[in-house]
Chains A and B, each alone.
Chain A
Amino acid sequence: RKEVEQDPGPFNVPEGATVAFNCTYSNSASQSFFWYRQDCRKEPKLLMSVYSSGNEDGRFTAQLNRASQYISLLIRDSKLSDSATYLCVVNLNTGGFKTIFGAGTRLFVKA
């Protein structure tokens, strides 16, 4: 079983739609959590950190459920420019150095 699992998609949605991505992690030593965005043939870039209380950045909302070991990302009012791969990322508290990247979820937003 992978330490961080994501639905690979692709998710095909029309502009203006709301789309949700889920991510599960298996290591109980997981300490900090992030969503990254990666455009085709580009490097991953931080989209947002994920906090236990949930956090929002414009159209993006991230949630963390430590009990269920589950992270989510909600995108409201999807734009064409949101088309990308979204990576779920977990830092482990095991000596402090290991980071686990999910394989990513592809999103295509269509006009």
Chain B
Amino acid sequence: DVKVTQSSRYLVKRTGEKVFLECVQDMDHENMFWYRQDPGLGLRLIYFSYDVKMKEKGDIPEGYSVSREKKERFSLILESASTNQTSMYLCASRPGPQETQYFGPGTRLLVL
């Protein structure tokens, strides 16, 4: 079974804090993704990575950065958390471009 894990299920941070969300997959997948999901807006792509040290902006990259130093790990960084970044953050991975994506359990982030 494909396993995608995320470092926290729930996180509470204060405005202005730097936040790190980590995602690890154990299936040697090439591509990894970070999404946020908000009621009524569906899944929105923040960043994706198609290989180690490679990254591409998604639809809503502002206020976020990412790091992929190792194939299995893809980190999302909120440089200075703001209340409008309160959301459910979902990480996903897939073997290749036309394959299905496998999601982690998600991190519910609350920024106060």
Separation of A54 and B105 alpha carbons in the complex (Å): 30
Q: Secondary structure at chain A's binding surface: helix, strand, loop or mixed? A: strand
Write out the residue numbers on chain B whose beta carbons fall within 8 Å of the beta carbon of A44.
Answer: 43, 90, 103
Separation of A102 and B41 alpha carbons in the complex (Å): 10
Separation of A34 and B98 alpha carbons in the complex (Å): 11
The one of B42, B96, B100 in contact with A103, judged by C-beta atoms closer than 8 angstroms, is B42
1/0 contact trace for B48-65 toward A, CB 8 Å? 101000001000000000
Number of contacting residues on B, CB 8 A?
Answer: 21
Write out the residue numbers on chain A whose beta carbons fall within 8 Å of the beta carbon of B106.
Answer: 42-43
- Residues 7-47 of B contacting A (Cβ, < 8 Å): 31, 33, 41-43, 45
- Residues 60-111 of A contacting B (Cβ, < 8 Å): 87, 89, 91, 93, 96-97, 99, 101-104
Q: Tell whether A46 is near chain B: CB-to-CB under 8 Å.
A: yes
Instruction: Tell me if A43 and B90 are in contact (CB < 8 A).
Output: yes
Separation of A59 and B90 alpha carbons in the complex (Å): 29
B101 closest partner in A (C-beta) = A99
User: Given A97-B31, A97-B48, A97-B50, are A42 and B105 also a contact pair (CB < 8 Å)?
Assistant: yes
Q: Tell whether A12 is near chain B: CB-to-CB under 8 Å.
A: no
- Residues 67-112 of B contacting A (Cβ, < 8 Å): 90, 96-106
18 contacts between A and B (CB under 8 A): A32-B99, A42-B105, A43-B103, A44-B90, A46-B101, A46-B102, A49-B100, A87-B43, A91-B97, A91-B98, A96-B96, A96-B98, A97-B31, A97-B48, A99-B33, A99-B45, A99-B101, A103-B42
